[in-house]
Chains A and B, each alone.
Chain A
Amino acid sequence: MTEGTVSVLIHGETLVFHPQRALLWPRRRTVIVADTHFGKSSHFARHGIAVPAGSDEADRQRITQLVKSADSLRLIILGDFVHAPLPLGSLECDRLQRWVEQLAGFLEIHVVSGNHDVGTSRTSLPSIQWWDTELIDFPFRFIHDAQRARTLDADALFTLSGHIHPVKQLKKLGKSALRVPVFWQKASGLILPSFGLFTGGFAVVPAEGDHMFAVGPSGVVPLR
């Protein structure tokens, strides 16, 4: 097992929290990530905000490395795959298409559509299998926003979702506070941290009985 990972047993399945803000499901050789927000920096640039490109490329490399090192057969992206519809024919659209095609050469790619994915041309990314609301692979429900889950089978399935970009504010001694991305595990489901490096976070407070796993620089750490 990779350095800095933490495993949990959920509904009889082992899930692994990976420090690259990804979730591994080893038995099914699946890598799960949420909120990649591809094209965010170029979207900003198109609207006159000078964000250097580069984080998209870095994010793609991180995924490629993840699936290779985990020897995966499946990649599931829990929505907000792109930040906004990419203009067809644009540089960043080309790059994304090329990478998806390359990746699709050796694994399945599933994307559960998120609110940012609305309006994205699915035909331009033919190798991706899109899921409109949710994808169920027993015992898990894969969905973008857990709050929109259909209540059917609610207790039988464990929900894996994104959308929130959970971070935890850690108090450091002195005045500066540190915000770290977290995996947020509740009784009914697990919320993944956002994968994209150019994505923000929303500070959350765990309820009684929740568990949080922080993604630190040297690995995933359970928080008490």
Chain B
Amino acid sequence: MAPEIVERLKKARAWFAQRGRLPFEFQEHMWLAYWSGESGLLNASTGTGKTLAAWLGPVLEMGGEADRPGIRVIWITPLRALARDLESALLEPLPYFDSKWRVEQRTGDTSGLRRARQKTRPPHALITTPESLTLLLTHADASQALSRLDALIVDEWHEFLGTKRGVQMELVASRLRSLNPALRIWGLSATLPDLDGAMRALLGNTLKGRVIRAPLQKSYVIDSLLPDSIDRFPWGGHLGLKMLPQVLKRLEGGRTTLIFTNTRSQAELWYQAITTARLDWLTITAIHHGSIDAKIRRRIEEGIKAGSLRCVVCTSSLDLGVDFPPVDQVLQIGSPKGVARLLQRAGRSGHKAGEISRATIVPTLALEVLEAAAARHAVARMELEPRPPMRLALDVLAQHLVTLAAGGGFDPHQALCEARTTHAFEQLTDVQWGWVLDFITRGGTALQGYPQFRRVSIVDSRYVVQSADLVRRHRQNVGTITSNASIAISWLKGGVLGHVEESFVGRLRPGALFIFAGRTLKFVRARDSVAYVRLATGSTRFVPRWQGARLPLSVSLGLELLDVLGSYERGTATDPELTVLGPLLDLQKQWSAMPTPEHLLIEVLENREGFHLFVFPFLGRMLNEGIASLVALRAARETPRTFSITTNEYGFELLCAEPLQVTPAALRRWFSQDELVADLLASVNLSDLARRQFRDIARIAGLVDSGTPRRGKTARQLQASSGLMFDVLERHDPHNLLLQQARREVLERQLDNQQLLDSLQRMAAQTWRVMTPKRYTPLSFPLWADRLQTQTLSTETWQKRVEREARKLERMAQ
């Protein structure tokens, strides 16, 4: 070992010794790898010392030398709320090492003054988000300031993987790497199934790296609140508030509890229920979700940190974020949906090293009791969902190129080489590249010969943005996160509570009551993207429904569910959840059969309503729907008929008027893997799905402005909805590659054809249990109830009918 390395290591150990311990082995590995010029990925969970592992390398390498100007370390965080805590963590060891380094933040919250000062006197370490870093690149002098960068650290890299934000990060990293070829890039990531792949995505294909694993992993405990009894014929009609008394008891026993829900409307309802039941908790209970105004949210977060709140009902808005040491309990209302997500939520309690993270699942449906057991098994085995990185997102590439053009311009040959070093664009064809260049300079083929179009111009074979106005507009639209919310909810006398979708406000009449941000509000009027409200006294159950994609059950968790069912059938199950569910499962077995990993369950039932085909692949709503439309298409092709399709997380129902010939051979044909893509495309309304998928693409590629409405006439006159844009492009520019991208994203990400293929393969290898029960079974009943809901108009009549049917079936089961 070189003497200066030994010297650095000694210093680091001395700092740790001062705190009464030795560095972890992985921390030393990280420093040594960094000092030998390596890049890579560190796999460690929060609270295990990953920050010091990544930070002390650069700090000790630089020693006390702090005079050379320029930014040396960039630390990327997915959330600007994390920046403040990170800053103090990075500052902490500096005095001991006599480092004169300045550590600063640059996020959307940083003042203009501060940003201007960073320009003339850049800090040595900059904590920032991908968006703010991209913004930095739109300044012409950025290349100069960043050419001396030694290290790019991407914290929580797993959060970026599989998203367009990840692609944006890859492109920015490739840019920084070409500014300084000696740049070292390190990603910090929680556990993922494919860590090597995660590393390659960040480093690109020109940089070799290695994965370092921190052996110290957190311990998790997953349990559930069990209902005293369950309905053997479960349905989604209950609002799931049945468990409220048990939840309240849990809250009493804890210090600070986070209650995670799966949707914002569910959060509103639970908050309402808790504060109605315990008026004395009104001031120490809070609600936190993405539509609530950022200022209010920050106040709540501070409240959690200070320990002044007993309970916060929240959504994924608190999945990530600053440490909340007072949190000692996490409740998950309803299905956890995925293993990684549950781990993340559990991790919000017991955040310190060595502490146990605990999550309690509160089932809102009988079968969710089963999910609790499945989730526990998956967590024990760390069966996490894969996050394949995205490829060829041309919208992100277009945005990145405009960024480069605004920040001093780019040479097309060099930019192409750079893009091709990234994982996302290593397969970029010359045609695609040419199209993107054409798109940003001439607006694509449809605009050729349109002299007024200007965005990026070519000056001396360099691509630049010439107008300051265009640079400004680009800066306002940088980023890949799209927000739905567009109408502000405000008090009459001012003060914004949050944002909801335009369509919700469109349905409100003056005087209408609704629940938002935990309050019952009366709608007064809407003006210029603001809905004015006043506090109402009445009560209502009317909650805005947000259109955010409902997360389907993950395949990993679905397979685990089958596993639990298999263990119940074999009599080897020991989970307490299965004792409660016993009556339901036994009846399922008695009337039909059990789905297991080895057995695909198919139920065929004919009754007054028609002919039903129930299939239970346990693949989550999206994939089940894909398979259902596929089977419907193929069956209808053989004998023309109309199906009504209903899906849930566990299976699907096809209903038709005339009996179907369900023979083993016919089933094999309908579930065949042949011609999958062609049949899939024929079975869905691709144009309709693509139109919706186009929303993000149009925003990122700069076709529509970002969700935040801006003032000023020019801004307003440049607003168009992505749907409108999609229609115009389809009509006048059908070969637009962004339209093709929308279709590809539907196929790959929404319908997930690869996963569908794998699933069909798995199903083909199973034994098929084709049963003919006489009536609805505990598994098919919820599907029947769901279908009924889409057919009957009034909620009341629907509830009555479902309850009656459940009682009838219950009588027969006795």
Contact = CB atoms under 8 A, between A and B. Distances in A.
A45 B447 contact: yes
B447 A48 contact: no
B460 interface: no
B451 A91 contact: yes
A207 interface: yes
Contacts of B719: 200
A48 B470 contact: yes
Given A45-B453, A91-B452, A205-B506, A54 B439 contact: no
A141 interface: no
A69 to B, nearest CB: 22
A53 B790 contact: no
B207 to A, nearest CB: 34
Interface residues of A, number: 36
B481 to A, nearest CB: 20
Contact of B720 (A44, A53, A205): A44
Nearest to B467: A48
Contact of A52 (B452, B455, B474, B729): B729
B717 A43 contact: yes
Interface string B679-705: 000000100100010000000001110
Given A47-B718, A200-B720, A53 B450 contact: yes
Interface in A25-69: 40-55
B716 to A, nearest CB: 10
Interface residues of B, number: 42
Nearest to A178: B688
Contacts of B724: 198-200
A55 B688 contact: no
B223 interface: no
Interface in B655-710: 685, 688, 692, 702-704
Contact of B452 (A46, A84, A177, A202): A46
B731 A49 contact: no
A50 B790 contact: no
Given A48-B702, A176-B688, A205-B507, A54 B718 contact: no
A112 B446 CA distance: 33
B443 A43 contact: no
Contact of B790 (A44, A174, A177): A174
A27 B790 CA distance: 46
A51 B507 CA distance: 31
A42 B509 CA distance: 37
A48 B453 contact: yes
A90 B470 CA distance: 20
Interface in B699-754: 702-704, 714, 717-721, 724-725, 727-729, 731-733
B237 interface: no
A35 to B, nearest CB: 13
Interface string A178-204: 000000000000000000011110111
Given A47-B470, A48-B470, A173-B790, A41 B728 contact: yes
Contacts of B725: 51
B503 interface: yes
The listed residue with most B CB atoms (<10 A of its CB), out of A42, A51, A116, A174, is A51
Given A173-B790, A205-B508, 4 more contacts: A49-B702, A52-B447, A54-B446, A54-B728
26 contacts: A40-B720, A46-B453, A47-B469, A48-B453, A48-B474, A48-B702, A49-B702, A50-B439, A50-B444, A50-B455, A51-B720, A51-B728, A53-B446, A53-B450, A54-B728, A55-B732, A91-B452, A116-B717, A169-B503, A169-B506, A174-B790, A198-B724, A200-B719, A203-B503, A203-B507, A205-B509
